Structure 1
Amino acid sequence: MAFNYLTDDVEQQKQRARYRARQCVIEQSGRYVKINDKNYVNFSSNDYLGLNHHPEINQALAIGADKFGTCASGSSLITGYSYAHQALEHDICDWLNKPKCLLFASGFSANTALMQALGHKSSHLYLDKLSHASLIDGALSSEAKVKRFLHNDIEQLQRLISKNQQAEPHDDELNQVIVSEGVFSMDGDQADVANLAKIAKQHQALLYLDDAHSIGVIGKKGQGSSSLADIDVVMATLGKSIATSGAFVACDKNLADYLINFSRHYIYSTAISPALAWATKKSIEIIQAEHWRREKINELSKLLTEKLSQKIQLIENSSSIHAIVIGDETSTLDVCQQLRNKGIWLTAIRPPTVPFNSSRLRVTITASHEVNDINYLASCVNEVIQ
């Protein structure tokens, strides 16, 4: 029978405790999630700042729908680019101090599009080993020469670039791009942004950062990695801290013009909903003004670190993401289920998303959580992980 691999491969996933299945969320509001008629304290949400269901953002969405419609009705190069999109792009440029901004349907498509655009046959791409799958896919599908440096290993990155320049000493048009995440999605640790920017400047390379998990959370006004150094190209999603949907790329005019003319992901995709763009403007306004949300995440993150037993293998960091490493897939799934029995919703992260034997619980702390939530989580984790 044809296509046997469809069932065979899924069956192998089950045998290796790597099978994935969707869960239908009935309700989701800040701290809680309702799944299969049961309420859980939710520690798997990327709504880091707790802005989902914010009344002012909801109101802006409704106003945007009335003014511009719920659908863009075309790509940005036909009739899909509305005043709502333009106004949002201008706000993002002001926020991150960038000349140009383009909106994309998703972070995955934005990353893939940019890696292909910057991945010219004359280019060299240097990716952090833990870069998101969309960056890796985009880089490998480009025409560029691709190298991956060990996670946050600045010295190895420096050696790779120097070796490459020695091999091509007379190439005056050596196009080099350093690629990293601002905050890494599975470990929650932060890139050494200042040193990456320094190396990029030293070697006349571009620095590209996926700021999906930094935007909103890092910086006095939530500018993400842009608050730490001058980043040449910033990509960030709208569906996490910003609490809407889509993504943006902030860059210079030359790259923006190139993408508008040559990026298939941008040219042939329907623009994001103008109503969502209008709601996103309001969300970014709130993010810049309400620094207390970032302060609360830091306070609760510190509390979790203090309350967890020392026998728990926690990857400590200053972001919203806290990885509790357990090891093998079966044990991780077992711990996950025990916590769900206690009313805590966490997701087991397993290979190939993370390296073999480093399966983990990915805990996300948001501004919606309270001290009692963190105390309860720590108590339950200490109890079920022996």
Structure 2
Amino acid sequence: MAFNFLTADVEQQKQCARYRARQCVAEQNGRYVKINDKSYLNFSSNDYLGLNHHREINQALSVGAERFGTCASGSSLITGYSYAHQALEHDICDWLNKPKCLLFASGFSANSALMQALGHESSQLYLDKLSHASLIDGARSSAAKVKRFLHNDIEQLQRFLAKNQQTENQDNELNQVIVSEGVFSMDGDQADVANLAKIAQQHQALLYLDDAHSIGVIGNKGQGSSSLADIDVVMATFGKSIATSGAFVACDNNLAEYLINFSRHYIYSTAISPALAWATKKSIEIIQTEHWRREKIIELSKLLTEKLDKKIKLIENSSSIHAIVIGDEITTLDVCQQLRNKGIWLSAIRPPTVPQNSSRLRVTITASHEVKDINYLANCINEVIQ
């Protein structure tokens, strides 16, 4: 029978403890998730600021649906670009101090689109080793030369850039793009944004940052990595801290014009829901003013670090994401199940998402959590990890 690999490959995933299955969520908020009629303390949510279910955002969604409809009814280059989209783009430009902004259906789509756009045959892309799959896929499908530097290894990146400039014929156009993430999704650590921006300027390269896990959480007004340095191109998603759906790319006028004319992801995709755009506009307004949400994440993250036993291998950082490295897949799944038995919902992250023998629990702390939640989580982790 044809396509035997479909069942064979899935069976192989089961054999090596890498099988993935969906869970139907009946209800969720920043603290709790209800699955199979059981409620759990939720430490797997990317709703970092606890804005999902926010009354004002829900009201904005309703108003947007009444005024603009729930569907864009076309791509942005036909009749899908509404006033709701334009207003949201303007707000993002003001927020991040960028000339232009374009909206995309998802972060994966935006990253793929930008890697293909910047990945001209005359370009060289330098990606951090832990860059998101969408960045890697987009870069590999581009016409550019692609090189990956060791995670957060600034010195190796500089060597790559210097070597490329020495070997490249001066008569040829040299288009170099440094690609990284503001906060890395699996480790929760940050890129050295200020240093990356400095290096990019020194080598006349563009700096591209995926700020999906930084936006809203970092910066006095939640500007993400843009609060740390002047970044050439910023991509961020709406489905995490901003608590809606979709993504944006903030850049200069030239790149925006190029994307509008040549990016297949942008040209041939239906625009995001204008009602969601209107709700996103309200969410960003709240993010900029409600500083306590970011302060609470910092406070609770510090508490978790203090409460965990020293034998626990925690990748310490100042973001919402806290990785507890366990090692092999089977042990990680067992620990995850023990925690679920205690009413804690955590995700077991396994290869190929993370390197071999670095399977982990990915703990996300949100502004909706309370001190008692963190205390309970730490006590349970200390108990089940021997």
Whether TM-score is above 0.5 comes out as: yes
Does 1:38 find its partner at 2:38? yes
Matched ranges for 1:114-153 at <5 A: 114-153=114-153
Query: Which residue of structure 1 aligns with residue 18 of structure 2?
Result: 18
Distance of 2:16 and 2:170 partners within structure 1: 51
Distance of 2:211 and 2:129 partners within structure 1: 16
**How far does residue 170 in structure 1 lie from its aligned partner after superposition?**
1.0
Query: Which residue of structure 1 aligns with residue 242 of structure 2?
Result: 242
Name the SS for the 2:186 alignment partner. Answer: coil
Name the SS for the 1:208 alignment partner. Answer: strand
Structure 2 gaps of 5+ residues are none
Query: Which residue of structure 2 aligns with residue 348 of structure 1?
Result: 348
CA RMSD of aligned residues (A): 0.5
Per the normalisation by structure 2, the TM-score is 1.00
Distance of 1:169 and 1:112 partners within structure 2: 29
Aligned length: 386
**How far does residue 79 in structure 1 lie from its aligned partner after superposition?**
0.3
Name the SS for the 1:326 alignment partner. Answer: strand
What one-letter code is carried by the residue in structure 2 that aligns with 1:210? D
Distance of 1:66 and 1:298 partners within structure 2: 38
Query: Which residue of structure 2 aligns with residue 375 of structure 1?
Result: 375
1:337-363: CA deviation from partner (whole Å, max 9, x where unpaired): 000000000000000000000000000
Distance of 1:171 and 1:196 partners within structure 2: 26
Query: Which residue of structure 1 aligns with residue 278 of structure 2?
Result: 278
Distance of 2:195 and 2:383 partners within structure 1: 40
Query: Which residue of structure 2 aligns with residue 77 of structure 1?
Result: 77
Distance of 2:9 and 2:201 partners within structure 1: 46
Does 1:220 find its partner at 2:220? yes
1:235-262: CA deviation from partner (whole Å, max 9, x where unpaired): 0000000000000000000000000000
Name the SS for the 2:143 alignment partner. Answer: coil
Query: Which residue of structure 2 aligns with residue 4 of structure 1?
Result: 4
Structure 1 gaps of 5+ residues are none
1:149-201: CA deviation from partner (whole Å, max 9, x where unpaired): 00000000000000000001514620000000000000000000000000000
What one-letter code is carried by the residue in structure 1 that aligns with 2:215? I
Query: Which residue of structure 2 aligns with residue 193 of structure 1?
Result: 193
Name the SS for the 1:23 alignment partner. Answer: coil
Name the SS for the 1:305 alignment partner. Answer: helix
User: Kindly tell me: are residues 368 and 171 of structure 1, through their superposed partners in 2, closer, same or farther at Cα, counting changes over 3 Å?
Assistant: farther
Distance of 2:47 and 2:171 partners within structure 1: 46
Name the SS for the 1:80 alignment partner. Answer: coil
Distance of 2:222 and 2:117 partners within structure 1: 28
Q: Extract structure 1 runs of 4+ deviating beyond 4 A.
A: none
Distance of 1:312 and 1:30 partners within structure 2: 25
Query: Which residue of structure 1 aligns with residue 91 of structure 2?
Result: 91
User: Kindly tell me: are residues 245 and 349 of structure 1, through their superposed partners in 2, closer, same or farther at Cα, counting changes over 3 Å?
Assistant: same
Does 1:154 find its partner at 2:154? yes
What one-letter code is carried by the residue in structure 1 that aligns with 2:207? L
Distance of 1:74 and 1:346 partners within structure 2: 38
**How far does residue 30 in structure 1 lie from its aligned partner after superposition?**
1.7
What one-letter code is carried by the residue in structure 2 that aligns with 1:192? D
Per the normalisation by structure 1, the TM-score is 1.00
Name the SS for the 1:362 alignment partner. Answer: strand
Matched ranges for 1:204-353 at <5 A: 204-353=204-353
1:192-239: CA deviation from partner (whole Å, max 9, x where unpaired): 000000000000000000000000000000000000000000000000
Distance of 1:169 and 1:97 partners within structure 2: 35
Distance of 1:356 and 1:294 partners within structure 2: 33
Distance of 2:302 and 2:376 partners within structure 1: 15
Q: Identity over aligned residues, as a percent? A: 89
